[in-house]
Amino acid sequence: MSFANLALQTGMDAIVTGVNLVWVLTVTFLIFFMHAGFAMLEAGQVRSKNVANQLTKNLLTWSVGVIVFFLAGAAVSTIVGGLTGGGSYSITGAFMGLYSPEAGSVTAWTDWLFGAVFAMTAATIVSGAVAGRAKLRAYVSYTIVLAAVIYPVVVGFTWAGGFLATLGFHDFAGGMIVHGMGGLAGLTAAWIIGPRMDRFNSDGSVNVIPGHSLSFAVLGTLILAFGWYGFNVGTAAAPLAMDGGEVTLGSFSYVGRVALVTTLGMAAGAIGAAAVALQKTGKVDTLYVANGLLAGLVGITSIADAIVWPGAIVVGLLAGAQLPIVFGFVEKRLKIDDVCAVFPVHGSAGILGALLFPLFATSFWNGSASFVGLAIPQIAGVAVITAWTVGATFVVFRIIKAMGELRVSAEHEREGLDTSEHGVDTYPEFGKPDTLTDGSGV
Amino acid sequence: MSFANLALQTGMDAIVTGVNLVWVLTVTFLIFFMHAGFAMLEAGQVRSKNVANQLTKNLLTWSVGVIVFFLAGAAVSTIVGGLTGGGSYSITGAFMGLYSPEAGSVTAWTDWLFGAVFAMTAATIVSGAVAGRAKLRAYVSYTIVLAAVIYPVVVGFTWAGGFLATLGFHDFAGGMIVHGMGGLAGLTAAWIIGPRMDRFNSDGSVNVIPGHSLSFAVLGTLILAFGWYGFNVGTAAAPLAMDGGEVTLGSFSYVGRVALVTTLGMAAGAIGAAAVALQKTGKVDTLYVANGLLAGLVGITSIADAIVWPGAIVVGLLAGAQLPIVFGFVEKRLKIDDVCAVFPVHGSAGILGALLFPLFATSFWNGSASFVGLAIPQIAGVAVITAWTVGATFVVFRIIKAMGELRVSAEHEREGLDTSEHGVDTYPEFGKPDTLTDGSGV
Amino acid sequence: MSFANLALQTGMDAIVTGVNLVWVLTVTFLIFFMHAGFAMLEAGQVRSKNVANQLTKNLLTWSVGVIVFFLAGAAVSTIVGGLTGGGSYSITGAFMGLYSPEAGSVTAWTDWLFGAVFAMTAATIVSGAVAGRAKLRAYVSYTIVLAAVIYPVVVGFTWAGGFLATLGFHDFAGGMIVHGMGGLAGLTAAWIIGPRMDRFNSDGSVNVIPGHSLSFAVLGTLILAFGWYGFNVGTAAAPLAMDGGEVTLGSFSYVGRVALVTTLGMAAGAIGAAAVALQKTGKVDTLYVANGLLAGLVGITSIADAIVWPGAIVVGLLAGAQLPIVFGFVEKRLKIDDVCAVFPVHGSAGILGALLFPLFATSFWNGSASFVGLAIPQIAGVAVITAWTVGATFVVFRIIKAMGELRVSAEHEREGLDTSEHGVDTYPEFGKPDTLTDGSGV
């Protein structure tokens, strides 16, 4: 659909554009609100001495990232899409289409903002993995690269029409493109930066460092779930469409499936994680339930438009159930200190959902597609996005590390990043700064 | 309106469906977000040793309940509606209409989700009443029965076309069906389970056990008020309609009244509670103001589409004013430990609003209906819903109690449910676990 | 557009009204939710002994204010608009248009509510300035006057068609009318009431009294930013319009600009404040970043529909950068204790944005307006709103002060307003009431 001369739109064209914009703007705001969710979820999972640091990172991820994504990232997506997908593209056009849209192109900037809130979701996930020891400048530098290049390249390969799109890779709302990418980047970053002090003992055993507030963590979870309805259901972004001169239902012809499947996946995720926690420890760990709910959402995100609903329950259960197991694997085997469990929640759950697609695809069940035909693009997509994200993140963090700018000093880590990096005390009237003994679990 | 072949909708039909879906989905998300409100409101009102327990219950209410409501509850509503309302119905059809909607029925699943968020609101209210001593498994078991049967039967009697609907019972957005039901269930549950230890002294005097955070309680209140606009105004769920082949305003022809009356009722509720608190103690208790605002909302919810606006101020003031009084009655006379005041906020306020309807109904004031003609269905509706809810909840909780599964041990209650049921400490860096002296008010 | 007989609207008229109402109601709810943002932002910035007081003020600002604005304020706007703008008006009509809209005027009450959420935003800003020492009754009394007269007069001069509108004063979404007004009122109020005890030493030096929770402050910031999308983008309030019998895009023909510019201004505000803080202290103060983000939003609010996008980055950077500087000036030079920095965030940032308009106006850059022609109305608007707001607020607070009702006793201030005014302890299980030594910074 060409948007030339849209300002002159009248009649049915105006109605379609108006209704679609009401919807897209509303869900864009919801997705933006996920930053409050991430801020609370992550702040709740760090020590009280590092809370302000985590909150500042969240604020700056959005603030720095969204400007970078406007000035560079979005255009990079378009260019990479054209380059790798065989479509036509113009480097100048990619930038000027945003800097100076042609008169009448009323949706150029709203479309950009809709894309930007997805991009910033991917960006903010990383901060949870490197909490409690990354220098602010290191984190912000990585965010700039992520917003300008790393994420835009992933989108270029896929949503912007690149070679994975051509191949048939299916990722409806970004289960792999946004969450998988963010989770993999976080794991890589946490690996390079190394664990927090006292996280692992010299004999290889593990100390649990509990977050300072489950209340904030659960609040963040529920804010995220709220915003996620915008993320998933909102990706059915064109309620109405023009077809042969007549208004028809656009993406709202299947929006009910997205809404149902998102709900079932989320619910099953919480149950799956609760069940495994109960089986392992005899108790229903609150944080596993919360993160399981999110893992269920991540698992369903790439496939919410195109699976049979019982599949949502299965995917959700598995995405929730893998959480405690993968978290334990990352912690005990890989010895990576993924503070906010961003890999099991966003990474492995996103990969799982994308790979399970063929099994539950409506097109498989109604016979219009073959299992193998569906599976190959999914495996290719997961592999390419994983390789690119891990590789690019590895390079950036290694460079920052080589410059000696990655990690705060041991002294600063001990006293907490709130004091050393921000000069503030998050709770000046409560508690005491904890010294030395982060690993004691108290 | 038949939705057959909706996928083929074009032109005006598509526009009506598209616009109505944009609205219904948006308000559905807002209502879902009320879970964050309930979580914060209730967490703020419990002791710090029981916060994670309360949060887990909220997460599981949604997660378990919504799946049960999809697999069973919604169909039970339809069946009970048909059974008791004299309409035609099919048991298979009730289930299959959700499990496998006919092609083209684009709103089957969005309509279900819109109903589900109301159902889960009723469910989650109960958790606030039994806080601090119910076993997780007991609460989850009751939630399953509530989502599968207890609430669906109430909806069957009313919104699904059952005998109370036939009788003319008016409950616009669920002031009685959702909130009254939840508040009554909570009171019944709190009665059966008995008070928290130290809540009442052997001489019959009362100990106040203050919640751990007014900040979270007020945050929850404001999140709930936000979501409530979705709840009430969103129940005007069909902005547009088709009438004789032409598009007309559907429920948006009266949406202004709903929006105004909801606003005035909420505001008057806070003022009513503040005034009574000021009169009783000389001070304006923050928690009464917050809960009064919610009671005002509950009071107005059943009648927000059909009363004159000065009635909203009166109903709101009364709903707020009754709160401290009913709370005192429940506590001091009934000796029931309704931890989060769910009965005065949701129960008695909901009953009050439903019963005051005839006095302020636009149809009464414009002479198109008689006071008695309006009053009888309201009294019948309140009586039936009360009897059913209290009776069913009584039976379920008595059975769980008889199985010895209702209440945690005294030792677990003393150390807090966070440790005993979930193995977590909500605030590991703050405060100390309080032992023995819950009743000391410190 | 006349709304007579709107209940009879059919066809395209019904579609336009329905779509516009879906949008206006949605953004109205978002703007309402900003009260949760203000509550958290302000509560986080006060001592723990004054948290419940701050929360109660927020609840009562809304509850009392919105009823006053319905019964009086909105009509006063209309009357002042007619009086000063030369339009026709009727005093009876102004009130009766709300109390009893003519049949078919479906948007009278939704339009009122849309105006009311802006009014209450202005009102609630003041509470942050006088935190920690104002009597509840003093604050509520001022709120009544603000909602009935002070704010409505400002709206009368401007949006309601008064003389500033005639002059060409441009304030799209209330950067000056709402935020500038609120910030100026707060500064005036804080000046009259005097600083908190221990805030300034007898030698003129300054004690920092840190707020009790950066977590709540940042949560509030992000809730506000979420609601602000409703505030700004929502002010493009008529997605569709009728033009010559045909549907056209109404305010959505420029909504993309509003959305983009709001985003860039917000982001640049956080960066501007962070940069100045870093330059001044070598550290990135979290609260400056958060408040800088808000100042960027305030700065852009009056001009978001009509500036070139690079202007948004400049305005945002300056609005953020001025925050630490103006805050220091108010504190160190004026010796005014503006607890929550409402003047630098809402006042000076609002003034700045309004005055910078000519420099970045699209009409200036495309040659259709002259710099001077744009500048004069902006200067006049800022001057008039400042003079009126400061003058009226001065008079009201001086009267309350003369009655001895403005400020709590020193004893009550020391023990905290939660106990003395509300009889509650916000966090009964944490911390201790701090005595005497507020100024110690601990």
- Mind listing the pLDDT tens digit for each residue in B238-257? 999 999 889 999 999 999 99
Interface check C372 vs A, CB under 8 A: no
- For chain A, state the CA radius of gyration: 22
Average model confidence (pLDDT) across chain C: 94
pLDDT at B435: 38
CB contact under 8 A, A427 and C255: no
Q: What is the rounded average pLDDT of the residues A120-138? A: 97
Confidence of residue C440 (pLDDT cuts 50, 70, 90): very low
Residues of chain B with pLDDT > 70, as a percent, come to 95
Give the amino acid at A180.
G
- For chain B, state the CA radius of gyration: 22
Q: Does B115 have pLDDT greater than 70?
A: yes
Answer yes or no: are the C-beta atoms of A270 and B60 closer than 8 Å: yes
Q: How many CA atoms lie within 13 A of C180 on its CB side?
A: 31
Q: Mutation test of the interface with chain C: which of B51, B214, B315, B437, choosing the one with the most C Cβ atoms within 10 A?
A: B214
Answer yes or no: are the C-beta atoms of A350 and A171 closer than 8 Å: no
Instruction: Tell the residue number behind the tokens 């939630």, with chain if given.
Output: B143
Question: How far is the C-alpha of C28 from the C-alpha of C311, rounded, in Å?
Answer: 27
DSSP string, C255-269: HHHHHHHHHHHHHHH
Q: How many CA atoms lie within 13 A of A8 on its CB side?
A: 6
Confidence of residue B88 (pLDDT cuts 50, 70, 90): confident
pLDDT at B86: 84
In terms of Cα–Cα distance, which of B224, C6, B110, C177 is closest to A249? B110
DSSP string, A349-369: HHHHHHHHHHHHBHHHHTTSS
pLDDT at A193: 98
CB contact under 8 A, C222 and A33: yes
- For chain C, state the CA radius of gyration: 22
Q: List the Cα angle C125/C126/C128 in 5-degree steps.
A: 75
**Which among A212, A260, A267 is the nearest to B62, CB-wise?**
A267
Alpha helix segments (H runs only) across A130-170: 136-145, 151-157, 163-167
CB contact under 8 A, A424 and C287: yes
Q: What is the rounded average pLDDT of the residues A6-30? A: 90
Question: How far is the C-alpha of C99 from the C-alpha of C93, rounded, in Å?
Answer: 10
Question: In this predicted structure, which of A83-92, B49-58, C372-381 has the lowest mean pLDDT?
Answer: A83-92
Confidence of residue C4 (pLDDT cuts 50, 70, 90): very low
- Cα torsion through A12, A16, A22, A27, rounded to 10: 170
CB contact under 8 A, C36 and B223: yes
Minimum CA–CA partner of C107 in chain B: B256
Interface check A109 vs C, CB under 8 A: yes
Q: Chain B, 122-161: which have a CB under 8 Å from a chain A CB?
A: 136
pLDDT at C431: 67
CB contact under 8 A, C239 and A213: no
In terms of Cα–Cα distance, which of B31, B99, C29 is closest to A229? B31
Q: Does C1 have pLDDT greater than 90?
A: no
Whether the CA torsion A397, A403, A406, A407 is positive or negative: it is: positive
Query: Which tens digit of pLDDT belongs to each residue from B142-188?
Result: 999 999 999 999 999 999 999 999 999 999 999 999 999 999 999 99
Q: What is the rounded average pLDDT of the residues C65-76? A: 98
For residue A154, what are its two tokens? 């992933």
Q: What is the rounded average pLDDT of the residues C400-405? A: 97
In terms of Cα–Cα distance, which of A12, A229, C174 is closest to B14? A12
Q: Does C104 have pLDDT greater than 80?
A: no
pLDDT at B7: 47
Confidence of residue B434 (pLDDT cuts 50, 70, 90): very low
Question: A10: which strand partners?
Answer: C248
What single DSSP character describes residue C407? B
Query: Which tens digit of pLDDT belongs to each residue from B369-423?
Result: 999 999 999 999 999 999 999 999 999 999 999 999 999 999 999 999 999 999 9
For residue A323, what are its two tokens? 């959480």
pLDDT at C204: 85
What single DSSP character describes residue A432? -
Distance from CA of B83 to the nearest CA of C (A): 36
Confidence of residue B442 (pLDDT cuts 50, 70, 90): very low
Instruction: Tell the residue number behind the tokens 């209940």, with chain if given.
Output: C7
Name A268's Cβ contacts closer than 8 Å, sequence gap at least 6: A296, A312, A313, A314, A315, A316, A317, A319, A320, B63, B67
Q: What is the rounded average pLDDT of the residues C105-126? A: 97
**Which among C221, C229, C249 is the nearest to A14, CB-wise?**
C249
Phi, psi (5° rounding) for residue A366? Answer: -95, 5
pLDDT at C89: 83
Q: Does A438 have pLDDT greater than 50?
A: no
Question: How far is the C-alpha of C231 from the C-alpha of C237, rounded, in Å?
Answer: 10
Question: How far is the C-alpha of B149 from the C-alpha of A172, rounded, in Å?
Answer: 35
Q: Does B120 have pLDDT greater than 60?
A: yes
List the subunits that have 3+ CB pairs under 8 angstroms with A.
Answer: B, C
Q: Does A4 have pLDDT greater than 80?
A: no
Answer yes or no: are the C-beta atoms of C58 and B237 closer than 8 Å: no
Question: How far is the C-alpha of B33 from the C-alpha of B16, rounded, in Å?
Answer: 26
Distance from CA of C359 to the nearest CA of A (A): 18
For residue A370, what are its two tokens? 């073959």
Reduced to 3 states (helix: H, G, I; strand: E, B; else coil), residue B210 is: coil
What single DSSP character describes residue B249? E
Query: Which tens digit of pLDDT belongs to each residue from C202-260?
Result: 998 999 999 999 999 999 999 999 999 999 999 999 999 999 889 999 999 999 999 99
For residue C305, what are its two tokens? 């529909």
Instruction: Tell the residue number behind the tokens 């944080």, with chain if given.
Output: A287
pLDDT at A437: 41
Question: Which residues of chain B does C63 touch, with a Cβ-Cβ cutoff of 8 Å?
Answer: 266-271, 274, 289, 293
Q: Domains of chain B (ranges plus CATH)?
A: 11-194+212-239+251-427 (1.10.3430.10)
Query: Which tens digit of pLDDT belongs to each residue from B190-236?
Result: 999 999 999 999 998 999 999 999 999 999 999 999 999 999 999 99
Name C219's Cβ contacts closer than 8 Å, sequence gap at least 6: A36, A39, A40, A219, B219, C40, C44
Q: What is the rounded average pLDDT of the residues A256-285? A: 97
Phi, psi (5° rounding) for residue A74? Answer: -60, -40
Interface check C66 vs B, CB under 8 A: yes
Confidence of residue A103 (pLDDT cuts 50, 70, 90): confident
Confidence of residue A439 (pLDDT cuts 50, 70, 90): very low
Ramachandran category for residue A89: left, alpha or beta (phi over 0 → left; psi -120 to 50 → alpha)? beta
Instruction: Tell the residue number behind the tokens 């909706």, with chain if given.
Output: B6
Q: What is the rounded average pLDDT of the residues C334-348? A: 98
Question: How far is the C-alpha of C297 from the C-alpha of C219, rounded, in Å?
Answer: 16
Question: A243: which strand partners?
Answer: A246
- Strand intervals (E) in B57-193: none
Whether the CA torsion A136, A137, A143, A146 is positive or negative: it is: negative
Phi, psi (5° rounding) for residue A204? Answer: 90, -5
Answer yes or no: are the C-beta atoms of B269 and B295 closer than 8 Å: yes
Query: Which tens digit of pLDDT belongs to each residue from A350-400?
Result: 999 999 999 999 999 999 999 999 999 999 999 999 999 999 999 999 999
Give me the helix-helix angle, A286-301 and A214-233, nearest 10°.
10
pLDDT at C432: 54
In terms of Cα–Cα distance, which of B146, B132, B133 is closest to B66? B146
pLDDT at B89: 83
Answer yes or no: are the C-beta atoms of A421 and A49 closer than 8 Å: no
Question: Which residues of chain C does A56 touch, with a Cβ-Cβ cutoff of 8 Å?
Answer: 284, 286, 289
Burial of B355 (0-12, 13-18, 19+ CB in 10 A): middle
Question: How far is the C-alpha of C438 from the C-alpha of A393, rounded, in Å?
Answer: 46
Answer yes or no: are the C-beta atoms of A383 and A176 closer than 8 Å: no
Confidence of residue A105 (pLDDT cuts 50, 70, 90): confident
CB contact under 8 A, C113 and B259: yes
pLDDT at B287: 97
ipTM given for this complex: 0.96
pLDDT at A244: 87
Question: How far is the C-alpha of C174 from the C-alpha of C262, rounded, in Å?
Answer: 13
Question: Which residues of chain B does A268 touch, with a Cβ-Cβ cutoff of 8 Å?
Answer: 63, 67
Per 3-state DSSP, chain B is made up of helix, strand and coil in percentages (nearest 5) of 70, 5, 25
For residue A360, what are its two tokens? 């539950």
Name C383's Cβ contacts closer than 8 Å, sequence gap at least 6: none
Answer yes or no: are the C-beta atoms of C219 and A39 closer than 8 Å: yes
Q: Chain B, 179-208: which have a CB under 8 Å from a chain A CB?
A: none
Confidence of residue B105 (pLDDT cuts 50, 70, 90): confident
Q: Does C103 have pLDDT greater than 50?
A: yes
Answer yes or no: are the C-beta atoms of B78 and B97 closer than 8 Å: yes
DSSP string, B142-172: HHHHIIIIIHHHHHHHTTTS-HHHHHT---S
Q: How many CB atoms lie within 10 A of CB B90?
A: 12
Query: Which tens digit of pLDDT belongs to each residue from A174-215?
Result: 999 999 999 999 999 999 999 999 999 999 899 999 999 999
Minimum CA–CA partner of A250 in chain B: B18
